Amino acid sequence: MEWSIQNGALWLSVKGEFDLSQCPALREKAMEQIEENGINRIVFDCSGTTFIDSSGLGLMLTLYKKTAPLGGGIFVKNVSPLLMPFFVMAGLDQILEIERSEGNRHE
């Protein structure tokens, strides 16, 4: 996991599999930034993500529920065609801002 603050948003980059093994560190960093620094926008960069499971999707939903009441949200960038069906099946394409790796925003 790599992270940075850019334009007032927390950027999280997940390399490889976004699964249960990655979630605790991502959750800890995100919650720290929300609670201690008032971050209300989180951007997940999936350009290096090869797989996502229900743990990763669940973390995004949890963080959405934390940031939305603060006027923010969750933004997912560079989602490959292999990952997009997971977001659709979970219904997250209806509530998260998702940008496919081709540069087209999913609507």
For the segment 56-65, what is each residue's pLDDT rounded down to a tens digit? 999 999 999 9
Calculate the alpha carbon distances from 35 to 31, 69, 90 in Å: 6, 13, 27
Q: How far apart are CA 99 and CA 104, in angstroms?
A: 6
Helix (H, G, I), strand (E, B) or coil at 68: helix
Which pairing describes strands 2-6 and 9-13: parallel, antiparallel, or unpaired?
A: antiparallel
Q: How far apart are CA 22 and CA 18, in angstroms?
A: 6
Percent of the chain whose predicted confidence (pLDDT) is above 70: 94
Query: How sure is the predictor about 1, in pLDDT bands with cuts at 50, 70 and 90?
Result: confident
pTM exceeds 0.85: yes
pLDDT in tens, 5-48: 999 999 999 999 999 999 999 999 999 999 999 999 999 999 99
Computed over every residue of the chain, the mean pLDDT equals: 93
